[in-house]
Amino acid sequence: MKEYLKKLYTKDKNTYFKLLSNDLKNNHKRFIITVNPETLMLSENDKELKKILDGNYSFVPDGIAVVKAARKVGTNVAERITGIDIAEYLLKLANENKYSIYLFGAKAEVIEKLVNRIKVEYPNINILGYSNGYVKDRDKIMKDIIKKTPDICMVALGIPYQEKIIAKYFDKASKGIYIGVGGSFDVMSGTKKRAPKLFIKLNLEWLYRIIIEPSRLKRFWNSNVKFMFKIKR
Ligand code: UDP
């Protein structure tokens, strides 16, 4: 686990955003993996996910527990860089530069709402395609994505499914920023609310998510709490 903490991006969010902007300008490929305690805990018993974490991708620290754990092992990570912050930034950038995107994941009504929001708020974005995440044949969607060569591809299927399906096809992509964004489409579409700014500032976003959705408690225990015990040990 230590080796994965050492691979995390260490500079601040704005510097990372500049990297993404340069990638898009120069048609450089990038697969962004937002690393949180759940990713790391799941990788202990999931060989396919472990192989992805062993890969040469762009790992960013999502989640305060990961930031703190990295610092403990001597990797001085500047701050959290969350999937939703990257996703919102990429939309802004795409609108400014007329980049193309493909969105895959979340419930049908969520993705429809998000696409409508993008059409209104970011009219210059070229939406090459989109699909909800409950289709039977996920590979068919990924093949369509690869064929259409979007500048940006966001996949919201949850950890580790989004990372696995991107990893399976990323080699075939000739360009593009690929990122798994978890529950971000739910928030970006306006279906769910993100934690109030104060919670985010105090690093208590996780607490807000549990209060709103108590069913997350078990997941939180199995990922974050066990992760913190492991790091302490
Ligand atoms: N999801 C999906 N297909 C599935 C299972 C989940 O598209 O078969 C979506 C789900 O609707 C949600 C996202 O994947 O939008 C996962 O969200 P979650 O809040 O669990 O992710 P987190 O941000 O906690 O990683």
Reported as a single tens digit per residue, the pLDDT across 76-107 is 999 999 999 999 999 999 999 999 999 999 99
What is d(CA 46, CA 67) in angstroms, rounded to the nearest whole number?
A: 22
Confirm whether pTM is higher than 0.85.
Answer: yes
Q: Is the CB of 105 under 6 A from ligand 1?
A: yes
Q: Is the CB of 37 under 6 A from ligand 1?
A: no
With 90 as the cut, is the pLDDT of residue 145 above it? Answer: yes
3-state secondary structure of 129: strand
Distance CA 94, CA 56 (A): 25
**205 contacts 199 by C-beta, under 8 angstroms:** yes
| Average of per-residue pLDDT across 168-186 | 97
CA distance 67 to 52: 20
Task: Let me know: does 142 contact 165? Beta carbons within 8 Å.
Answer: yes
Three-state DSSP class for residue 128:
strand
**211 to each of 115, 197, 216, 220, how far by Cα in Å?**
28, 15, 9, 12
Q: How far is the CA of 191 from the centre of ligand 1 (A)?
A: 13
Atom of ligand 1 nearest to the CA of 157: 14
Average pLDDT, the chain: 95
Q: What is the mean pLDDT of residues 25-33?
A: 97
Query: Quick one: pLDDT at residue 232?
Result: 85
Q: Give residues with Cβ within 8 angstroms of 81, minimum separation 6.
A: 9, 13, 16, 34, 60, 61, 62
pLDDT band per the 50, 70, 90 thresholds, residue 206: confident
Query: Which residues make Cβ contacts (< 8 Å) with residue 156, sequence separation at least 6?
Result: 103, 104, 105, 106, 133, 162, 180, 181, 182, 183, 184, 185, 186
Check pocket membership of 134 for ligand 1, CB cut-off 6 A: yes
Give the percent of the chain with pLDDT over 70: 100
Please check the confidence at residue 205 and state whether its pLDDT lies above 90. Answer: no
**How remote is the CA of residue 157 from the centroid of ligand 1, in Å?**
5
Least confident of 39-43, 106-110, 125-129, 217-221: 217-221
Per-residue pLDDT band for 40 (boundaries 50, 70, 90) equals very high
